[in-house]
Amino acid sequence: MTDTVQTFNPHPSKPSFLLPANACDAHVHVFGPASRFAFSKDSKINPVDAPKETLFQLHRHLGIERCVIVQSLVHGFDNSVVEDAIRAGAGRYLGVALVSHKVSDEELLRLKNAGFRGVRFNFMAQMAQMAQMAQMAHIEQGATAQQVIDLTQRLAPLQLHLQVHFESALIHELTPIFKQSAVPVVIDHMGRVDALLGESHADFRALHDLMQDTRFYVKVSGIDRVSRGRPYVEGILLAHRLVMDFPDRCFWGTDWPHPNHHQIPDDGELASALAQIAPTAAAMQALLVDNPQNFYQFNP
């Protein structure tokens, strides 16, 4: 790959309101700079650098004080780009690592001490046909769903959680496997449901049913990915439903810098949508401040 891909809006708008003190963006990535943190040879994209300095500037602009950086497939298993950002974040930035299911206990402990709070696995539908759904292979990590759940036995003593990203149709087959987890499970981007299908669709109903289990958490991020387009009405409605029904187990994130997106959203507009997703002061406080603090355990 030689052509670089722009993945973020360099001139986002300001949110339409002031976010509460200690507001947390619970889902972002950092890319590079590639001259210092090489991209993985397996990366499907060659993004323009989106380094920690640009992320920090974005958060100052939006009024965000805390953050959880999720390791991206752009950098593969080398989590050093996130470690570097965590160190620079002075306790206000934590991480979620990308690892193999065969990762050593020593490496998990090292990641924990470096400021990582969990590990992430991604599942893709096209692999289901090859693996008969329940034995789903990870897009890059080469593990079945059951092997990922087996790993949670080693995550538990370190108080690390499991974060999962999957295409919405897979929730039905993956749910009984995920329910075997020995640690809390965070579901990315509202399970990537198609918001155009509404609350009554089987995929969203399955997500909602799964959330009845108090070990599960959900990120109401990605309204821009699951809607037909701006102003993301359909995604906002589903995010609002989850926040109202599970007020203490939802997180929000911008998903900056928006890799593999058909259109680059305005992060200020995504933040402004919070007024509809969490329309009361109590709901906003829980979503942006209390839930992230209680779950990720930021240092005071």
Which residues participate in catalysis according to the annotation?
255
DSSP secondary structure string for all residues of 201-214: SHHHHHHHHHTTST
Between CA 73 and CA 45 the distance in angstroms is 9
CA angle in degrees (0–180, nearest 5) for 277-281-283: 50
Cis peptide before 15 (omega within 30 of 0): no
Handedness of CA 57, 62, 66, 71 (dihedral sign): negative
Between CA 73 and CA 19 the distance in angstroms is 30
Q: Tell me how crowded residue 139 is: count the other CB atoms within 10 A of its CB.
A: 17
**Number of C-alpha atoms within 13 angstroms, CB side, residue 48?**
10
Between CA 254 and CA 261 the distance in angstroms is 13
CB 181 within 8 A of CB 149: yes
CA angle in degrees (0–180, nearest 5) for 230-260-170: 90
